[in-house]
């Protein structure tokens, strides 16, 4: 198993992250538990900031908050000089509660509601990324009502099919996102925006997620810079910002070969400069929106092993106390992960097992046929690189509670997300008066 960040095997033979023994973390916080390595989280933020902003200046890095967001994460992103990409009123509200600077917030989404847009306008978010004509009309009406002129980007579907999973491709023509470039819809949107109560500052594209092939980004730059040149020629408008989205891939399991962040930045920034010269354009400010590549490698999930089922000559199943409710990616995307028995980390991984969750679903599998130390009930199993889209896509299926999350650094663990309780599960339940009966609630203690 590949070790990420500050992971190491300590003198007890246990896996340690951020100077914290995972066995001790399980005792203090329980399992399942999301563990975030603060040093690794900050190091990746700095690598992005240094590679884009420090090196090229005319650039900005936005953290794609859908990967993992809490108020504490907002504060870390602010301290590291990053902006935020938010896609809902809830993500925006989290940023507001963390007192994140709104001028560094870009608000995405293919179906923003009037209330969400009002929240954004009333709090003066930096940019609203407009996804469709309906939203452009709605935003125009709200801006006039609220007497403001929001600065916007238009999301463009560039017709680029990145080599990734079907469900996380977003740049191809047949996509729910954005204005299509190839049929003239994108240019129509530019002209429509010039007639609205908005200020069109730039264009945005996003070609997909978990991308390893950097040539996909080169192609995106070429297509988008040609579109910016076409905008100037047809409308006279000088586009000031080019947002290339995110999608940078990370290591999950053997065979994954992510590119270097600085190499990615050099390739993108130099290509934009080249195309600006070719089309005689002022170089636009370049924005990127990494999420998975920041949160993913910094986060792990710790479980307790329960039942073990071996089918002779077929497969050995190791069940844990979580599953698709805290990490749906294997079920949804067939995502592959590695694993380790954290309390036996110093031992050789010589067993081939499949890791299953506890949901009442045959598809609740976290990993198929992975190498693992000999597992026994009560052992602690850790899956690395689960920091992105674990908690944010978590559910209460089977009325399972969502795990808590801790931030670890220098031997100290701090709770940044409380684990749910059974009381939380029924907090919003409402019993109609006609169904009530006079009984005492049963104790769960």
- Tokens, residue 294: 């920041």
SS3 136: helix
- Tokens, residue 384: 């690395």
What does the alpha-carbon distance between residue 285 and residue 305 come to, in Å, rounded to a whole number?
Answer: 49
SS3 282: coil
Q: Is 360 a catalytic residue?
A: yes
- The catalytically annotated residue of 20, 74, 148, 360 is 360
Q: Residue 322, Cα to own-chain centre: how many angstroms?
A: 20
- Tokens, residue 26: 């399980």
CB neighbours of residue 289 within 10 Å: 27
Burial track 186-220 (b if 16+ CB lie within 10 A, e otherwise)? bbebbebbeebbbebbbbbbbbbbbbbebebbebb
Nearest 5°: CA angle at 12, between 8 and 15? 30
Q: DSSP for 399-417?
A: GPPPPEEEEEETTEEEEEE
What does the alpha-carbon distance between residue 414 and residue 138 come to, in Å, rounded to a whole number?
Answer: 42
DSSP letter assigned to residue 283: P
What does the alpha-carbon distance between residue 142 and residue 147 come to, in Å, rounded to a whole number?
Answer: 8
Please list the active-site residues: 360
């Amino acid at each position: 198993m590949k070790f990420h960040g500050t992971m190491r095997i300590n003198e007890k033979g246990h896996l340690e992250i951020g100077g914290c023994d995972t066995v001790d973390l399980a005792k203090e916080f329980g399992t399942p538990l999301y563990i975030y390595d603060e040093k690794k989280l900050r190091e990746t933020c700095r690598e992005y900031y240094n590679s884009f902003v420090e090196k090229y200046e005319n650039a900005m890095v936005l953290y794609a908050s859908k990967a993992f967001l809490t108020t504490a994460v907002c504060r870390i992103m602010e301290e590291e000089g990053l902006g935020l990409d938010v896609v809902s009123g809830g993500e925006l509200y989290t940023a507001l509660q963390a007192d994140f600077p709104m001028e560094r917030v870009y608000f995405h989404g293919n179906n923003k509601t009037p209330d969400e847009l009002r929240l954004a306008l009333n709090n003066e978010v930096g940019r609203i990324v407009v996804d469709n004509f309906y939203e452009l009309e709605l935003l125009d009406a709200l801006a006039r009502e609220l007497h403001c002129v929001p600065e916007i980007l238009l999301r463009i579907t560039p017709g680029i099919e990145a080599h990734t999973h079907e469900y996380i491709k977003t740049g191809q023509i047949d996509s729910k996102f954005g204005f299509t470039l190839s049929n003239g819809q994108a240019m129509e949107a530019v002209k429509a925006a010039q007639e609205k109560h908005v200020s069109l500052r730039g264009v945005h594209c996003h070609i997909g997620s978990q991308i390893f092939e950097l040539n996909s980004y080169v192609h995106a730059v070429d297509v988008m810079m040609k579109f910016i040149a076409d905008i100037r020629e047809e409308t006279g408008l000088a586009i000031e910002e080019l947002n290339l989205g995110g999608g940078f891939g990370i290591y999950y399991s053997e065979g994954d070969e992510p590119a270097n962040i600085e190499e990615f930045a050099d390739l993108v920034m130099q290509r934009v400069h080249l195309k600006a010269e070719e089309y005689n354009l002022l170089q636009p400010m370049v924005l990127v929106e990494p999420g998975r590549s920041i949160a993913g490698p910094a986060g792990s999930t710790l479980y307790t092993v329960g039942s073990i089922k071996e089918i002779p000559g077929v497969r050995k199943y190791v069940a844990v106390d979580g599953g698709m409710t805290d990490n749906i990616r294997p079920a949804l995307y067939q995502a592959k992960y590695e694993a380790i028995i954290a309390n036996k980390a110093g031992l050789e991984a010589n067993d081939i097992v499949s890791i299953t969750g506890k949901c009442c679903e045959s598809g609740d599998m976290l990993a198929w046929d992975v190498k693992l130390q000999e597992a026994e009930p009560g052992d602690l199993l850790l899956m690395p690189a689960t920091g992105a889209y674990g908690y944010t896509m978590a559910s209460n299926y089977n009325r399972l509670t969502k795990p808590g999350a801790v931030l670890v650094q220098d031997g100290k663990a701090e709770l940044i997300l409380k684990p749910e309780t059974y009381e939380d599960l029924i907090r919003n339940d409402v019993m109609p008066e006609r169904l009530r009966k006079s009984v005492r609630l049963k104790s769960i203690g």
